[in-house]
Amino acid sequence: MRTIRYHGIADELRLRVSSGVYAAGRLLPSESVMSVEFSVSRVTIRKALEILRDEGLVKARQGFGWFVAGKPVQQPLGRLATIEDQMRDSGMQPERRILEFVFEKAPRDVATILGTQQVLRVTRLNTADNEPFALVTVWCSADLGQHLSRADVERSPFYELLEVPLSGASQTIGADAARAPEAELLNIPIGSPVLRCERITSGTSGQVVLVSRHVFPAHRTEFVVELPFAEPSIAPSGLRLVD
């Protein structure tokens, strides 16, 4: 299977940036240096860097260099309140009802993400004032889950029960039509639109810890995302920290 060169290079550079090999605010090696390191032309290196620029990971200044963009991009996203907080603020009573708590063989896609076949699956229904508003399925590896009991997940949020420190997550948001079982549980007509969200939560060492799927009735929920734009961020002048 052929791969496009600069995609692979972008992957490698993304790894270095996110893993801290290239620290925040510091200059990256120049395009020429990198082109020698990867044994490709400067054009190809640029292509890879431009991908990372589009992702907001790095920035460039003509005549100066490429440097790792700071954290400000990530700040506004993290500041958004979670749904439970908002519900409590508006005086609602959030509750969760555990529907299933089983150790089983994971669906293939989940298995490949988690890297394990045997998993613990917990399916729960979140309600607010006795109105269902979210159907959640969480998978984690059977190893991790074997310390948990059904009573545990009924009492506390999942994240508090795991002894693994969590570091980050990737969240995918899409729309879909409600299928029969979930429609019944959520008390909505079959085929009515729902928000479908898949979240992959990773540990500090980068391994995938949790996979969770959420289904929300569309008419009751929406996502809000704050998007920061290219701020005038100028790296301190005269600062060249290439080791």
Residues numbered 50-79 forming contacts with a copy of itself, rule: CB under 8 A? 51, 54-56, 65, 71-74, 76-79
For position 155 contacting DNA by CB under 7 A, the verdict is no
For position 87 contacting DNA by CB under 7 A, the verdict is no
Smallest CA-to-CA distance from 119 within 108, 129, 133 is with 108
DSSP string, 157-219: -HHHH--SPEEEEEEEEEEEEPPHHHHHHHT--TT-EEEEEEEEEEETTS-EEEEEEEEEEGG
Residue 215 near residue 194, CB atoms below 8 Å: yes
- The Cα 219–Cα 178 span in angstroms is 12
Q: How many residues bind DNA (CB under 7 A)?
A: 28
Q: Point out which span in 38-46, 113-121, 141-149, 225-233 binds a copy of itself (CB under 8 A).
A: 225-233
Q: Point out which span in 34-42, 99-107, 180-188, 215-223 binds a copy of itself (CB under 8 A).
A: 215-223
For position 118 contacting DNA by CB under 7 A, the verdict is no
For position 85 contacting a copy of itself by CB under 8 A, the verdict is yes
Question: Which spans of this chain sit near DNA (rule: CB under 7 A)?
Answer: 2, 4-7, 28, 30-33, 39-44, 46-47, 60-66, 237-238, 240
